[in-house]
C-alpha cells in the first residue's frame, strides 16, 4: 500500500512538504507542487481524508443552500463549486429551500452544530428566520454568498457576483440605442435585492436618457414562467404597450416570448425582448434571446475557493468579489418599428 513516505521519496521532498501540499497546496512552491502532484499521480496515493479531517477537527463537508435546484442558472454555478470541492477533497451537500425560510431549528443545526465546515448561500434573500448572529460560546462556520446581491441581513458576509446594476443599465442602454423609448420591465420580487438592483439599473438608464418610466410598465413576474406570462399579458393589454420588454431573468423572458407570440405579435419587429443570465436555453429559443451573460462556472469556482480559504483559517475579508458580465446580442431584439415610434 502506497504511503505518504513513498510519495515524499519519489518526489524528492520531505513528508512535511507532501502533507502541506495535501492540506494547503497554494503554500507549496510551483515547481515543488508539480513534483508532488506527479508523484501522487504515478503512485496512485490517496490520502485518508476522513482521518486527516478528524485530526484537524474538520468534517470535510460544505453545505450549499439554494432556493431551487431546478433553476438552470444554478447548474453552472454548482458545476464550478463541485469542481473545486473535488480538488480540495470536500463533500458538498445541497439544501433546497423552495423559496421558503429555514426554521429556527434548521438554522441552528446548519450554522452551529458543526455538521459542515462552511456554507455557500445562493440567494439574495436571507434563507434564515433567525438573525445570523453568533451565540456566545459557539463558533459559526464560514459563509460565502454566491451569484446574487446581498440583503441587509447578509451584507457583512463576503460574496462573489456580477454588478447587477451596471449590467441592467447596459442592456437597457442597448435597447435605447436601438431607438426604443417605451421599455417595460418585469422584475422578480421586491423582496429580492438582486431584482431590485436590476430594476435600479433599468431606471438609471431611463433617467440618463431622459425617458419616463411608466409605473404600470414595471410589473412583478416572480422569477417564474407563469409569473412572467401573467405580467406580459398586462403589458400587452396596456393602452400604449411597450416596444421592448426587459425581463430580470431568462426564465421570465421565456414566458414573455411565449405570450407575445400567442398574441400574434412578431419578435423583434413588434416587440423586442431581453433577459438576464444567459442560461443554456437562451441561444436556442425562438428567436434566440438577447441577454446578460453571467460566468456561472467561474462564479462557482471563485466562491468555493474563497470559502476554502476561510475554512483553512485565512482572512478573506468581507468585500464583494465582482466578476465581469457580458451583453450577448441575439435575434430577440431589433430597432424600434416606425409605426411604434
The domain limits of the chain are: 4-43, 55-162+295-323, 164-294+327-340
pTM for this prediction: 0.77
Residue 126 pLDDT > 80, yes or no?
A: no
φ/ψ of residue 333, rounded to 5: -130, 150
Peptide bond into 287 cis (omega under 30): yes
Task: Domain 164-294+327-340: state its class.
Answer: alpha beta
Residue 44: what pLDDT? Answer: 81
Going by C-alpha positions, the residue among 146, 117, 112 that lies closest to residue 128 is 112
103-123 confidence digits (pLDDT tens): 555 655 665 566 788 889 887
Give yes or no for a contact between 220 and 187, defined as CB atoms under 8 angstroms apart.
yes
| Mean pLDDT value of segment 228-250 | 96
Residue 164 pLDDT > 80, yes or no?
A: yes
Strand partners, 274: 246, 290
Residue 50: what pLDDT? Answer: 46
β-strands 244-247, 183-187 pairing: parallel
Q: 55-162+295-323 adopts what CATH topology?
A: Rossmann fold (3.40.50)
β-strands 321-322, 326-328 pairing: unpaired
- The crossing angle, in degrees rounded to 10, of helices 225-236 and 250-262 is 50
Q: Which residue has the cell 441581513?
A: 153
**Of 25-39, 103-117, 141-155, 229-243, which range is least confident?**
103-117
Residue 341 pLDDT > 80, yes or no?
A: no
β-strands 326-328, 291-293 pairing: antiparallel
Report angle CA 283, 287, 293 to the nearest 5 degrees: 35
Do the two domains 55-162+295-323 and 164-294+327-340 of this chain adopt the same fold? yes
What is d(CA 34, CA 11) in angstroms, rounded to the nearest whole number?
9
CA 207 to chain centre: 28
Going by C-alpha positions, the residue among 277, 256, 261, 244 that lies closest to residue 178 is 244
282-310 confidence digits (pLDDT tens): 999 999 999 999 999 999 999 999 999 99
CA distances for 110 relative to 67, 81, 93, 119, 315, angstroms: 16, 19, 11, 8, 22
Residues 6 or more apart in contact with residue 29 via CB below 8 angstroms: none
For 318: left if phi > 0, alpha if psi spans -120 to 50, otherwise beta; the answer is: alpha
Amino acid at each position: 500500500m502506497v504511503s505518504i513516505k513513498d510519495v515524499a521519496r519519489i518526489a524528492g521532498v520531505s513528508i512535511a512538504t507532501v502533507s502541506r501540499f495535501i492540506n494547503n497546496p497554494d503554500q507549496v512552491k510551483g515547481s515543488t507542487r508539480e513534483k508532488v502532484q506527479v508523484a501522487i499521480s504515478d503512485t496512485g496515493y490517496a490520502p485518508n481524508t476522513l482521518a486527516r479531517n478528524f485530526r484537524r477537527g474538520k468534517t470535510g463537508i460544505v453545505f450549499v443552500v439554494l432556493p431551487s435546484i431546478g433553476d438552470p442558472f444554478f447548474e453552472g454555478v454548482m458545476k464550478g463549486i463541485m469542481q473545486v470541492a473535488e480538488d480540495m477533497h470536500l463533500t458538498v451537500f445541497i439544501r433546497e429551500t423552495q423559496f421558503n425560510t429555514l426554521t429556527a431549528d434548521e438554522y441552528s443545526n446548519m450554522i452551529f452544530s458543526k455538521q459542515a465546515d462552511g456554507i455557500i448561500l445562493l440567494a439574495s434573500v436571507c434563507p434564515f428566520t433567525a438573525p445570523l448572529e453568533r451565540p456566545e460560546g459557539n463558533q459559526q462556520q464560514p459563509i460565502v454568498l454566491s451569484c446574487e446581491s446581498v440583503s441587509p441581513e447578509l451584507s457583512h458576509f463576503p460574496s462573489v457576483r456580477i454588478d447587477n446594476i451596471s449590467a441592467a443599465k447596459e442592456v437597457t442602454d442597448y435597447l435605447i440605442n436601438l431607438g426604443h423609448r417605451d421599455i417595460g420591465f418585469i422584475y422578480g420580487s421586491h423582496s429580492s435585492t438582486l431584482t431590485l438592483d436590476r430594476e435600479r439599473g433599468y431606471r438609471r438608464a431611463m433617467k440618463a436618457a431622459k425617458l419616463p418610466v411608466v409605473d404600470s410598465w414595471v410589473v412583478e413576474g416572480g422569477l417564474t414562467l407563469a409569473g412572467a406570462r401573467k405580467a406580459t399579458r398586462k403589458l400587452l393589454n396596456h393602452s400604449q404597450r411597450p416596444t421592448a420588454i426587459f425581463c430580470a431573468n431568462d426564465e421570465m423572458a421565456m414566458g414573455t416570448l411565449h405570450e407575445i407570440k400567442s398574441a400574434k405579435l412578431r419578435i423583434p419587429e413588434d416587440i423586442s425582448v431581453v433577459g438576464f443570465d444567459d442560461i443554456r436555453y437562451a441561444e436556442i429559443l425562438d428567436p434566440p434571446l438577447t441577454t446578460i451573460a453571467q460566468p456561472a462556472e467561474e462564479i462557482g469556482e471563485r466562491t468555493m475557493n474563497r470559502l476554502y480559504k476561510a475554512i483553512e483559517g485565512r482572512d478573506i475579508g468581507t468585500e464583494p468579489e465582482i466578476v465581469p458580465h457580458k451583453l450577448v446580442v441575439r435575434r430577440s431584439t431589433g430597432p424600434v418599428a416606425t409605426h411604434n415610434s
